[in-house]
Amino acid sequence: METHNFRTPLKFPITSMKSPNTLILNSLLLVFSLVSLTSCVDTIQLDLREVEPQLVIEGKITNTPSENEVIITTSVDFQLKNEFPPITTADVSLTDQTTGESEKLIQTSAGVYAITALKGIEGHTYALKVAYNGQIYSATSTMPQQVNFEELTYEEGPRRPQNNSQTRMVAIFKDPASTENFYRWITYGNGIQSRTVFVRSDAFTNGNSIRQSINSDIDIAANDAITVEMQCISKEAYEYFNTLMRLQGDGVNQGTTPTNPPSNIVGGALGYFSAHTSQKQTVVIKP
């Protein structure tokens, strides 16, 4: 079963620090397509093996009252629908190792276990423990010191084909020189969260005042109120999301060798546990 979609233009996955190969290739294909019938994208069926469902743990504790929860689901075969069965019978507990306080998490909806008693505090280390089906899964994460999100602005630039707009959101902040810092940005437009993962480390920019333009798949138009969340994340969380970021957009066999992101969860589950800070700012795009 093949559905042909001849001469569909290739996706133009330009992000500012995309691999040079992808950028060159896109232009090259454009050139080739001028002299011949080239490049076609179609949907095919592949015979992918079935796998045992694996536990997926997504744990977050922040220095704000929202997004403090642990979501537990399982993976499914590639061919199935994007419905991921929640795990409703896990025993989940969280410990603030800095103070020694513990909390047993209560399930508030199917597979979602809320953190209510413990508060996320910069510099504190948190330990997550999940018991399910006779297995123990555990992870720790230390919340980094928050770097002040000074200002959210935007600028016009070359069009980003993945979101069809020329406007780029820009976060302004001063990176502290004394520490290694890792950042994650999430863009929200009209209540929708960007699916594009975008993280940076300060490896190239340590100690500088930074104007960071942010990639997202949100269409940005005049009069939109755009919110950007800046998270200061741990090194482990950065490595997890950096791997995800590099896997998005590139074709298999061309970019990074695909792999599961390195998880900080011990015991064989997919996912991550992250203690991070969160700051949000909103601007309205002027017409």
- Contact between 283 and another protein per CB under 8 A: no
Rounded to a whole number of angstroms, the minimum distance from the CB of residue 104 to another protein is 24
Please pick, from the candidates 102, 107, 125, 213, the single residue that binds another protein as defined by CB under 8 A: 213
**What is the separation of C-alpha 210 from the centre of its chain, rounded to a whole number of angstroms?**
21
* Window contacting another protein (CB under 8 A); options: 94-102, 125-133, 197-205, 276-284: 197-205
Task: Name the one residue in this structure whose structure tokens are 């001028």.
Answer: 34
Please pick, from the candidates 209, 266, 282, 284, the single residue that binds another protein as defined by CB under 8 A: 209
C-alpha span between 86 and 40 (Å, rounded): 38
Rounded to a whole number of angstroms, the minimum distance from the CB of residue 286 to another protein is 19
C-alpha span between 271 and 130 (Å, rounded): 13
C-alpha span between 57 and 135 (Å, rounded): 13
- Contact between 156 and another protein per CB under 8 A: no
C-alpha span between 254 and 178 (Å, rounded): 37
Rounded to a whole number of angstroms, the minimum distance from the CB of residue 36 to another protein is 4
C-alpha span between 164 and 4 (Å, rounded): 25
Residues 22-61 that bind another protein (CB under 8 A): 23-25, 27-32, 34-46, 48-51, 53-54, 56, 58
- Contact between 77 and another protein per CB under 8 A: yes
Can you say whether residue 129 is alpha, beta or left, with left for phi > 0 and alpha for psi between -120 and 50 degrees?
Answer: beta
In 3D space, the residue among 136, 137, 98, 132 whose CA is nearest the CA of residue 118 turns out to be 98
**What is the separation of C-alpha 213 from the centre of its chain, rounded to a whole number of angstroms?**
16
* Window contacting another protein (CB under 8 A); options: 73-81, 90-98, 228-236, 275-283: 73-81
- Contact between 66 and another protein per CB under 8 A: no
C-alpha span between 101 and 117 (Å, rounded): 9
Rounded to a whole number of angstroms, the minimum distance from the CB of residue 28 to another protein is 6
The smaller minimum CB distance to another protein, of residues 98 and 260, is found at 260
Q: For residue 158, what are the contacts with CB-CB under 8 A and spacing of at least 6? A: 166
C-alpha span between 56 and 151 (Å, rounded): 35
- Contact between 243 and another protein per CB under 8 A: yes
Query: Contact letters (x/-) for another protein, 112-151, by CB under 8 A?
Result: ----------------------------------------
- Contact between 195 and another protein per CB under 8 A: yes
- Contact between 191 and another protein per CB under 8 A: no
Please pick, from the candidates 114, 131, 221, 270, the single residue that binds another protein as defined by CB under 8 A: 270
